[in-house]
Amino acid sequence: MSLRVAVFLDYQNVHLGAHSLFLSYGAPVHEALVHPVRLAERLVAKRRDGGALTSVQVFRGRPNPGHQPTLAAANDAQTAAWQRTDARVQVVRRDLNYRSWPTESPREKGVDVALSIALVEGALLEQFDVGIVFSGDTDLIPAVEMAFRRTTPRIEIACWSGLKPLWFPAELAAGRRLPWCHFLDQTDFNQVRDRTNYLAKPPQP
């Protein structure tokens, strides 16, 4: 039987990383949005041992409609579209923090914690054979390392080429690079972009 592969996406980190690397200066941020299923399938296709994509878990913030109604509507529409078209997609959203609004942009809060819990819980319950975490947020390293060392499933990571992977610091100090990292480049990004202009579309039921 094929290995069951679950992909965990730190969505804001993934698409802002792509924006900084692959788009021209000043390009709108929404032009770097990626489609979670296409991205996850790309990762599975790159695995030497292959596998069957069984779960795509997306973790991201949600704008407050009272502060940012257009962005909130776009976020809702995008989430609905992803989950409506593929049952493997699960989107976990946390309300953005507007403590310094409007002087400063709102910030994500609790997204990394939600991803960490989902990864460790899924690994402990053996809900997948391979878990791939796509993020550059170093706050995730303790959870990734626990799942990697203390559970049965194989834990891998993914990163855009040109950014730093979530390799374990102690292993790097010893000259080793763990876990295995899948590097995606400009060509991969072009293949997985979500070009739908959700800013111009109303939320879908």
- For helices 69-85 and 36-46, angle between their N-to-C axes, nearest 10 degrees: 50
DSSP assignment letter at 166? -
Query: pLDDT tens-digit profile of 13-34?
Result: 999 999 999 999 999 999 999 9
What percent of the chain clears pLDDT 90, i.e. is strictly above it? Answer: 94
Query: pLDDT tens-digit profile of 152-164?
Result: 999 999 999 999 9
Q: Where are the domains of the chain?
A: 4-200
Residue type, 7: V
pLDDT tops 50 at residue 203:
no
Burial class (CB in 10 A: 0-12, 13-18, 19+), 98: middle
Mean pLDDT of 42-59: 96
Query: pLDDT tens-digit profile of 175-196?
Result: 999 999 999 999 999 999 999 9
Fold of 4-200: Rossmann fold (3.40.50)
